[in-house]
């Protein structure tokens, strides 16, 4: 006997609606999980090229007002962190498909990067298809100049309304709130793009994408995070939350002496 053959039609209709709802909920949950930051892989989901500083630095101090390395792709840290999140949420790579020409590829890249990064991830069938490449790292390595020209202009980010916070929101309570928002974002399996600033010192004025905890919380309450830093395409960098000081600390490199920085969330909502 087939299931339901002895049930009234009305009962069968109700059962059909019930299982339909269950299937819809399961599909929605699976689609959301597909865009979860838990699946983020640094050597697959980030850009292969780096953002370069305008000046040349040593130990956090300007030693030349020219970039001695000859690189001119600069002031793009916000653009690059945003693009990494956008490709993770809105693009689908099809490595076995035939590659398109540069004109069509540019159109598709811009289709991805013009979408608001705070929107929910798209299900696979609604994503922008990038044919002929396995991932963002491969695409950006093969088509570096095309990607640099297409993911966004650098100067525009200086006009972002959210930038004004660096001038006056220096209260440590605001950093405590930001830390809470960061923890909540990771608990929801989402990214957190941070604007790092120590204004008015100006040792750092930068953007990074936080994607996971690096280690469990320390006994003193310190939280450790892994971030994508556009200035360092080779490997993730480290950000820490120091509860006793109620402030963040960022890893030292050539441009930054390391230590104190304020963090402001960006691209988490409209006009942020």
Q: Over the stretch 234-269, which tens digit does the pLDDT of each residue have?
A: 999 999 999 999 999 999 988 888 999 999 999 999
* Helix and strand counts by DSSP (H, E) for the chain: 8, 10
Q: Cβ-count burial of 106 within 10 angstroms (0-12 exposed, 13-18 middle, 19+ buried)?
A: middle
For residue 163, the model assigns a pLDDT of: 87
For the segment 142-168, the average pLDDT, to the nearest whole number, is 91
Residue 2 token pair: 């087939």
Strand partners, 56: 64
**3-class DSSP state of 118:** coil
Q: Please tell me the distance from the alpha carbon of residue 263 to that of residue 81, in angstroms, as a whole number.
A: 15
pLDDT at 217 > cutoff 90: yes
Q: Which residues contact 211 (CB under 8 A, 6 or more apart)?
A: 37, 40, 191, 192, 226, 227, 228
Tell me the pLDDT of the chain averaged across its residues.
86
Whole-prediction pTM: 0.83
For the segment 106-122, the average pLDDT, to the nearest whole number, is 98
- The 8-class DSSP code of residue 217 comes to P
As a whole number of angstroms, the longest Cα–Cα distance in the chain is 85
Percentage of residues of the chain with pLDDT beyond 70: 81
**3-class DSSP state of 196:** strand
For residue 33, the model assigns a pLDDT of: 44
């Amino acid at each position: 006997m087939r299931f339901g053959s002895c049930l009234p039609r009305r009962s069968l209709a109700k059962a059909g609606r019930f299982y339909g709802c269950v299937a819809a909920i399961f599909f929605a949950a699976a689609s959301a999980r597909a865009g979860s930051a838990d699946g983020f892989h640094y050597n697959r989901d980030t850009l292969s090229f780096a953002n370069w500083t305008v000046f040349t630095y040593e130990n956090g101090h300007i030693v030349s007002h020219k970039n001695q390395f000859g690189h001119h792709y600069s002031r793009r840290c916000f653009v690059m962190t945003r693009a990494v999140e956008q490709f993770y949420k809105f693009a689908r790579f099809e490595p076995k498909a035939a590659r398109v020409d540069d004109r069509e590829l540019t159109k598709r890249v811009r289709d991805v990067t013009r979408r608001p990064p705070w929107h929910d991830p798209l299900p696979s069938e609604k994503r922008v298809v990038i044919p002929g490449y396995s991932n963002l790292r491969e695409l950006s390595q093969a088509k570096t100049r095309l990607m640099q020209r297409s993911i966004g202009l650098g100067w525009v980010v200086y006009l972002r309304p959210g930038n004004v916070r660096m001038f006056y929101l220096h209260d440590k309570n605001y950093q405590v709130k930001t830390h809470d928002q960061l923890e909540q974002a990771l608990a929801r399996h989402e990214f957190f793009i941070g604007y790092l600033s120590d204004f008015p010192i100006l040792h750092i004025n930068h953007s990074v994408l936080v994607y996971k905890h690096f280690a469990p919380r320390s006994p003193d309450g310190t939280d450790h995070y892994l971030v994508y830093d556009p200035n360092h395409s080779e490997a993730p960098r480290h950000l820490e939350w120091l509860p006793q000081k109620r402030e963040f600390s960022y890893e030292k490199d050539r441009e930054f002496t390391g230590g104190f920085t304020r963090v402001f969330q960006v691209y988490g909502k409209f006009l942020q």
